[in-house]
């Protein structure tokens, strides 16, 4: 039986794809024990040809070609095709550290884990490691203690919902309703709590396994006005999903904190880009009955913002607009 399926969604990343795939084929487990599922999601550059060449060279690379369905659609296609006992996701402009997979698979098996989280680092386009400022970083906990998924989510995840940080038991992902939502940004954030809270045995290893490339033109760094509007609209969908997901949870603190974090970022974008529409967006948030916002696992800097938002979101938008 194949132990591990690594799913790589590919769309117009010819500049980065070889480095990604090189990092996957040079791991410390036998070829017959893992498969690399490359999903070419309608690329219009040379990515498809590069993937075809690697699939022809390495017997454990499976190439799926499909019309463009977006990142979620590509990941879902990989999940459906996966034969491994465990599944891991690697974005095609990122790459793994050498010889890290054997220890992860062995830990999953030895401790009968549903989900294992590992550490990551950011790299720039020159592949130099750097540390960007992130509000949620102080609350990430990588201790190696097995717990249920809701406890892990609440106490140890922080607000970084990167699916590429997890190795997951395949049978969990293949359950009905556990695929990624298509057509939205922040699909990782919407998906991660859904999966974690179904898991009985979750833990972390504080080992840097993954290199996350921050590059110009990526979704997370998009600057076009059209995409910024979609970001706001999709964050509103994310808030709705968090509200729905937490409705039956015994501990809602993480969800409430994620909602607060997301609402502040919505108002920041509205204040800077769509100030004339601020009242519309504030009314939408009020209608969703989100206020007062939670301060759970929020930095002091964010706490100050939330205090002002809870007092008067209109004043907060004005201050951010004039800043």
pLDDT tens string 158-190: 998 999 999 999 999 999 999 999 999 999 999
Counting residues of the chain whose pLDDT is more than 70, the rounded percentage is 95
pLDDT value of residue 144:
96
CA–CA distance, 140 with 156 (Å, rounded to integer): 5
The pLDDT-based confidence of 219 (bands split at 50, 70, 90) is: very low
DSSP state letter for 224? -
The pLDDT-based confidence of 155 (bands split at 50, 70, 90) is: very high
Q: Determine the average pLDDT of the residues in 9-27.
A: 97
Task: Centre a 10 Å sphere on the Cβ of residue 228 and count the other Cβ atoms it contains.
Answer: 16
Mean confidence (pLDDT) of the chain: 94
pLDDT value of residue 193:
98
pLDDT value of residue 222:
47
The answer on pLDDT for 215 being more than 50 is yes
Check if the beta carbon of residue 261 is closer than 8 Å to that of residue 136: yes
Check if the beta carbon of residue 170 is closer than 8 Å to that of residue 5: yes
In order, the DSSP letters of 165-214 are GEEEEHHHHTSTT-SPPTT-S-HHHHHHHHHHTT-S-EEEEEEEEEEEE-
Q: Determine the average pLDDT of the residues in 105-123.
A: 97
The pLDDT-based confidence of 133 (bands split at 50, 70, 90) is: low
Token reading at 118? 């590992």
The answer on pLDDT for 13 being more than 90 is yes
pLDDT value of residue 137:
60
Check if the beta carbon of residue 88 is closer than 8 Å to that of residue 167: yes
């Amino acid at each position: 039986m194949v132990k591990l399926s690594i799913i790589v969604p590919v769309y117009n990343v010819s500049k980065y794809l070889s480095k990604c795939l090189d990092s996957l084929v040079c791991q410390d487990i036998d070829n017959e024990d893992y498969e690399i599922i490359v999903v070419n999601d309608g690329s219009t550059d040379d990515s498809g040809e590069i993937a075809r060449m690697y699939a022809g060279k390495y017997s454990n690379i499976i190439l799926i070609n499909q019309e463009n369905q977006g990142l979620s659609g590509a990941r879902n296609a990989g999940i459906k095709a996966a034969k491994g006992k465990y599944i891991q996701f690697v974005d095609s402009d990122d790459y793994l550290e050498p010889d890290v997979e054997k220890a992860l698979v062995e830990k999953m098996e030895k401790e009968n884990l549903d989900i294992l989280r590992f550490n990551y680092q950011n790299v720039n386009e020159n592949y130099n490691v750097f540390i960007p400022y992130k509000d949620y970083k102080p609350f990430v906990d990588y201790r190696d203690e097995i717990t249920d998924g809701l406890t892990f989510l609440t106490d140890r995840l922080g607000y970084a919902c990167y699916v590429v940080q997890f190795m997951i038991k395949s049978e969990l992902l293949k359950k009905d309703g556990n695929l990624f939502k298509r057509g939205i940004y922040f699909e990782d954030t919407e998906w991660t709590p859904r999966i974690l809270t179904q898991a009985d045995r979750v833990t972390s290893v504080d080992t840097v396994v993954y290199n996350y490339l921050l590059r110009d033109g990526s979704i997370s760094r998009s600057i076009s006005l059209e995409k910024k509007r979609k970001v706001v609209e999709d964050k509103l969908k994310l808030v709705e999903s968090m509200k729905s997901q937490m409705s039956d949870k015994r501990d809602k603190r993480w969800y409430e904190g994620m909602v607060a974090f997301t609402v502040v970022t919505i108002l920041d974008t509205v204040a800077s880009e769509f100030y004339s529409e601020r009242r519309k967006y504030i009314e939408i948030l009020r209608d969703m009955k989100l206020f007062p916002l939670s301060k759970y696992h929020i930095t002091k800097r964010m706490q100050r913002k939330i205090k002002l938002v809870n007092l008067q979101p209109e004043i907060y938008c004005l201050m951010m607009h004039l800043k």
